Chain A
Amino acid sequence: MAKDRRSPDGNGEISRRNFVRAGGAAAAGSAILGGAAAPLAGSPLAPEESPSLFPSVPRQEARIQTYRTLGRTGFQVSDVGMGSVPLRETSVVRYAYDKGVNYFDTAEGYGNGAAERAIGEALQHMERDKVFIATKARVGERENAEAVIEKVRQCLQRLNTDYIDSFSMHAVPSVEALGHPGYHAAMDQLKAEGRVRFTGVSNHGPGMGEILSAAAEDGRFDMMLLVYNFMNHEESDQIIAACKANNVGTTAMKTSPGSLEYEPVDPANLSESQQRYIERLTSRGQSRERALERLQSQANRQKDTYDKTRPFAERYGIQTQDQLRLGSIHWVLQNPDMHTACISFTEFELIDKVVPLSGTRLTSPEEHMLRQISLVLGDQYCRHGCSDCLDSCPFQVPVSTVMRYAYYYQGQKREKYAMSKYAALKEKSATLCLDCVGKCEGACTHGLDIQTTMHQAHALLTLA
């Protein structure tokens, strides 16, 4: 039995006891300014330990919280679905199912049929009508209905089931290909026989927006599998809108892109791994120039990914690749019109990390922290973004903004940044509070002693 690695209270959230022990009150208005201890290293709220931005600590007790209607199929799918490449362990499929995941995406080409076989083995431990099995295959231009039916027959065999919930055309190359007569004839027959319930299309190449939007409007397809992530959503948003308008199910793949680093190429000073790459290509008969060209092209792609990742990472305070992976999945889950996100679960631990995201809101670390603090400290905490007290102040001092800077200083240890932000407030800073008669008394709807808090914040942010 692995040790339970949940938070001390076992739920990954912060209790009042832990919050205080952690010195988390440092982030909470008057409590910190009153001189509480700095956060303890390793405590749930220590900034250097990641301020619980995402529940990256696995939570084995978590279960799926949100189910959405998969378009006209009417099936209630878990917002977190399971992709199946590279899938090796049948028991991982069972584990996901036991956590409430009920959508399983696979394809004949994943592991050359191995993924379907693994799901087929796991299906023997599931209630068949409680899960949605979506598989797919490439359909060649010249393949007829008989060939497509043969593909489905083999999928059924590998999946060890009497019917497939949906059989999609995989990686459809063009709008014209959506009308494939062999595929549609086969689906008509297989639906009539009860072997296939619904149809769909997947694409993640050039033209995805055009192809899948056309598929959504076509009327013959019940669901789509598309690329959807924070780096690539403009095109996907159009598809999702078309799906919504036509009551077509939406499922997401490639939900966790991005990179927090890249390695530039200097031909005169290649890294060890770059050198190995060059040697490998030249040993296969390529010229060094051509190999370098490929290496450079690879580096350019990585740089592009890095550049696209950076704003997202900065917004949500993401610092590690693991956080990026979970954060980007969490971003996908926010859209109620994206019915399920297919996550490639290859290990139990990833399931324990992703399932707790089900039905939860993506917040910045600051928002997350403040939300948690608000639960713990109630009337001691100044709400981020609240301006209820503003009208009571004759000088319009932005109280919640001042408190946010105090949090930057003490909660996040970004002292210089906090002080510079505070200094930029100039005539709107809490300097004005020092000689004020305190007209704000009683103005906080949450019971905060505003003037005292402002005095303390000013002292902190000016080192007075």
Chain B
Amino acid sequence: MGLTNRNTVLVPGLFLALLPLVGCSSGGSEFPEVEGWTQPGEVLFYDADTLWEYINGAAELFVSYGVQSCRTTDLSSGDLTVTVDLYDMGTPLNAYGVFEQESSGETVEVAGAVAALVSPPYQALLLKGSTYAKVNVFEGELTMESGQGLLEALAAGLPGQATPPAEFGLLPSEGLMEGSHSFQAEAFLGLTELTDCVFANYSRDGEESWQGFVVLPDAAQEVWDHLSGEWESVESGGSEVKFREVPYRGLVGVTWTDRGLMGVTGAADQEALLARLDGFAH
């Protein structure tokens, strides 16, 4: 998890002129200018209902993170032609979540972006504000250098902040493994009842790593109510702890604190769970 390097993924560019124009619409000048690149064709626009017409089943992931729209066009520079998809995810946190899910490639520093990855020679990814940008090469080969240059030019034209979502500040910093932050809107750990979770990997005192998470404040009460009657309950240090087993992954437990609804994963037994949760939440 997190914005770490991943194996390169081979995804060819999609030359937009070849795509059937079903349900999408052209959007005129709705694409930001990218210095050094020309835009030979039109901009196509998709919303959550029509995105599947463009990226097929892959649209499901974007819909689960609340995609608002996708604008896409081809850009050319020299021998290189790329397709650029700009996904407006509604919030920086949603954009971060989907970016992290799709992350693949080598991390590159891009001024004005939250994060950026390049997978030469095929692909480059960018995160800025609530926009997730995906660049697939159609013609030519992308290098680390040209990929970085393109992402920098792209970032300059996109709105939004270049800092990670503020919600990650809800996570305690002690033991947090750098770069492992993420966000899951639905079914965290594969559990229907855990929604809207920011999480990160933790390791304390040399122990095996585990995940700590915080439910976003707006969703916390609803999540807690959902757990009542579903999860087991135990009192620990004057607080109620709800917990259950996650198949193959040990126990997960949550408790209320001054900082919100917080939880930990991967405990081998109840005693270990309570100790881990106490250390994480207090």
Binding site for B on A (CB under 8 A): 1-3, 5, 83, 85-86, 88-89, 91-92, 94-95, 98, 107-114, 117, 125, 138, 140-141, 143, 147, 150-151, 154, 157-158, 170-171, 173, 202, 204-206, 253, 277, 280-281, 284-286, 294, 298, 301-302, 344, 346-350
Contact = CB atoms under 8 A, between A and B. Distances in A.
Contacts of B52: 204
Contacts of A92: 190
Highest count of chain A CB atoms <10 Å: which of B14, B68, B101 = B101
Given A114-B101, A170-B56, A89 B14 contact: no
Interface string B234-268: 00000000001111110000000000000000000
Contact of B57 (A89, A253, A302, A349): A253
A112 B189 CA distance: 20
A138 B58 CA distance: 12
Interface stretch (B22-30, B140-148, B217-225, B274-282): B22-30
Contacts of B9: 108, 112-113, 154, 158
Query: Considering the complex of A and B, which 5 residue pairs feature the smallest CB-CB distances, nearest first?
Result: A86-B61, A112-B102, A113-B9, A89-B190, A347-B187
Contacts of A111: 58, 61, 101-102
Interface in B1-39: 6-12, 14-15, 18, 20, 22, 25, 27, 29-30
Interface in B92-114: 101-104
Nearest to A284: B30
Contacts of A302: 49
Contacts of B134: 112
Interface in B46-78: 47, 49, 52-53, 55-58, 60-61, 64, 68-69, 71
Given A3-B232, A108-B9, A111-B58, A205 B49 contact: no
B121 to A, nearest CB: 11
B102 A138 contact: no
A57 B49 CA distance: 29
A111 B100 CA distance: 10
A125 B249 CA distance: 14
A284 B88 contact: yes
Contacts of B53: 205
A204 B192 CA distance: 28
Contacts of A3: 229-232
A349 B194 CA distance: 12
A91 B10 contact: no
Contacts of A277: 68
22 contacts: A2-B232, A3-B230, A88-B190, A89-B190, A91-B246, A94-B247, A95-B190, A108-B9, A109-B56, A111-B61, A112-B125, A154-B7, A173-B18, A173-B20, A202-B56, A204-B56, A206-B22, A280-B68, A284-B71, A301-B49, A347-B192, A349-B192
A140 B8 CA distance: 19
Q: Which of A85, A151, A157, A302 has the most CB of B within 10 A?
A: A85
Nearest to A302: B49
B201 interface: no
B18 A141 contact: yes
B166 interface: no
Contacts of B69: 280-281, 284
Contacts, number: 147
Given A1-B232, A108-B9, A158-B7, A346 B186 contact: yes
A295 B20 CA distance: 22
Contacts of B14: 138
Given A109-B55, A112-B104, A143 B249 contact: no
Given A280-B68, A280-B88, A294 B47 contact: yes
Given A5-B230, A140-B12, 4 more contacts: A89-B189, A125-B248, A154-B10, A347-B186
Contacts of A95: 190, 247-248
Given A92-B190, A350-B192, A86 B49 contact: no
Contacts of B55: 109
B190 A114 contact: no
Nearest to B232: A1
B184 interface: yes
A2 B245 contact: yes
A3 B244 CA distance: 9
B58 A107 contact: yes
Nearest to B55: A109
Given A113-B104, A173-B18, A285 B29 contact: yes
Contacts of B184: 88
Contacts of A158: 7, 9
Nearest to A154: B10
Given A111-B61, A111-B101, A348 B191 contact: yes
Contacts of A141: 18
Contacts of A294: 25, 45, 47
Contact of A86 (B7, B101, B244, B246): B101
Contact of A285 (B6, B18, B30): B30
A434 to B, nearest CB: 51
B248 A94 contact: yes
Given A107-B58, A138-B14, A346-B186, A113 B30 contact: no
A347 B12 contact: no
A83 to B, nearest CB: 7
Nearest to B14: A138
A95 B230 CA distance: 19
